[in-house]
Structure 1
Amino acid sequence: MGQRDDRRLARKKQEMRRQKRRKKRRRRIVFLVAEILILCILSVIAYGMFKLDKLNVNPLKNLTNNGISQDGYMNVAIFGDDRRPEDTGNARSDCIIIASINNDTKEVKLVSVYRDTLLNTEDDTYDKANSAYAVGGAEAAVNMLNRNLDLNIQDYVSVNFLAVADVVDLLGGIDLDLTDEEVVHMNNYCVETSEITGKKYKKIEPEVAGTYHLNGVQAVSYSRIRYTEGGDFQRTSRQRLVIEKIAEKAKKADLSTINKIIDAVFPEITTSFTSGEIVKMSAGLLQYSIGDNEGFPMDNETPDSIPGYQGSYVVPKGLEENVIKLHKFLFPDEDYTPTDTVKEISDHIKDVTGIYPDDSEDSTEDNGE
Structure 2
Amino acid sequence: MGRFFKSFFITFLVIVLLFVGPISFFVLKNHIENPQDFFSEINNGSKNVSFLLLGVDSLDSNTDSNTRSDTIMVVNMNLENGDVNLISIPRDTYASIDGYGKQKINHSYNYGGPELTLKTVNNLLGTNVEHYVTLSYGFVGDVVDIVGGVDVDVPMDMDYEDEWADPPLKIHLKAGEQTLDGDKAMQFLRFRKGYADQDLSRVQAQQQFVSSFLDKLKSPMTVLKAPALLRSYDKNTKTNLPFSQVVKIGLNVGKLSKDSINAQTLPGSPSYKNKISYFFIDENATGTLLREVGLK
Q: CA deviation at 1:167?
A: 1.3
- From the CA coordinates, give the structure whose radius of gyration is larger: 1
Tell me the distance in 2 between the aligned counterparts of 1:192 and 1:293: 30
Question: Could you tell me how far 1:239 is from its partner in structure 2?
Answer: 6.8
Report the equivalent of 1:125.
102
1:251 aligns with 2:191: no
The correspondence for 2:122, drawn from 146, 166, 179, is 146
The one of 42, 48, 58 equivalent to 1:83 is 58
Aligned-pair CA distance for 1:151: 0.6
Structure-2 residue corresponding to 1:321: 285
8 Å contact from structure 1 (residues 92, 130) kept in 2: yes
1:46 correspondence with 2:54:
no
Structure-2 residue corresponding to 1:221: 187
Q: What is the correspondence of 1:202-351 to structure 2 with a 5 Å cutoff?
A: 209-225=175-191, 242-252=209-219, 253-273=221-241, 277-279=242-244, 282=247, 286=251, 289-290=255-256, 293-297=262-266, 299-301=267-269, 303=270, 306-310=272-276, 314-316=279-281, 318-330=282-294
State the TM-score, normalized to the length of structure 1: 0.57
Judged with a 3 Å threshold, the aligned counterparts in structure 2 of structure 1 residues 294 and 217 are, in CA distance, closer, same or farther, namely closer
Give the helix-richer structure, 1 or 2. 1
Structure 1 CA distance for aligned equivalents of residues 228 and 146 of structure 2: 7
Flag the 1:166–1:50 CA change in 2: closer, same or farther, 3 A.
farther
In the alignment, the residues of structure 1 paired with residue 3 and residue 168 of structure 2 have an alpha-carbon distance, to the nearest angstrom, of 30
Deviation of 1:28 after TM superposition, in Å, equals 7.0
Give, in whole Å, the separation in 2 of the partners of 1:50 and 1:158: 28
> How far has the Cα of 1:44 moved from its partner?
1.3
Q: Cα 1:73–1:256, aligned 2, differ >3 Å: closer, same or farther?
A: closer
- CA drift of 1:119 comes to 2.9
CA distance in 1, matches of 2:5, 2:249: 31
2:2 maps to 1:33: no
Hey, what's the Cα distance between the residues in 1 that align with 2:102 and 2:164? Answer: 36
> Runs of 5+ in structure 2 lacking a partner?
33-45
Query: Alpha-carbon deviation of 1:154?
Result: 1.2
Letter in 1 for 2:179: H
TM-score after normalising by structure 2:
0.69
Is the CA contact 1:186–1:225 (under 8 Å) kept in the aligned structure 2? no
Count of aligned pairs: 270
Contact 1:250–1:258 (CA under 8 A) maintained in structure 2: no
SS at match of 2:65: coil
Q: RCO greater where, 1 or 2, for CA within 8 Å and sep 6 or more? A: 2
Give the % identical residues: 17
